[in-house]
């Protein structure tokens, strides 16, 4: 993740992507890939 100067008053527009917020090995990437793959097979979650 690139280092950016800290400015607490600055708003994010557009919101950052998952890749910008999380480390490459973070488990959230696995969950996102699973959910994306599940939609490809027509699976619905209730």
37 in a structural domain: yes
Domains contained in the chain, number: 1
Reported pTM: 0.47
27 within domain boundaries = yes
Measured CA to CA, the distance from residue 38 to residue 6 in angstroms comes to 38
For the chain, the C-alpha Rg in angstroms (whole number) is 15
- DSSP letters, 27-41, are HHHHHHHHHHHHHHT
> 3-state SS of the chain: helix, strand, coil percent to 5?
40, 0, 60
Question: What pLDDT, in 10s, does the model give residues 4-46?
Answer: 777 878 777 777 787 888 888 888 888 888 888 765 555 554 4
Asked, for residue 34, whether it belongs to a domain, the answer is: yes
Domain containing 36: what range?
Answer: 17-41
Name the residue with higher pLDDT: 22 or 1: 22
Q: 4 in a domain, yes or no?
A: no
Residue 23 counted as domain residue: yes
Could you tell me if residue 1 is inside a domain?
Answer: no
Flag whether 26 is in a domain: yes
Residue 25 phi, psi dihedral angles, 5° rounding: -95, 10
Q: What is the pLDDT of residue 46?
A: 47
């Amino acid at each position: 993740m690139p280092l950016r100067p800290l400015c607490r008053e600055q708003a994010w527009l557009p919101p950052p992507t998952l890749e910008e917020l999380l480390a490459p090995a973070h488990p959230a990437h696995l969950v996102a890939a699973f959910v994306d793959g599940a939609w490809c097979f027509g699976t619905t979650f209730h």
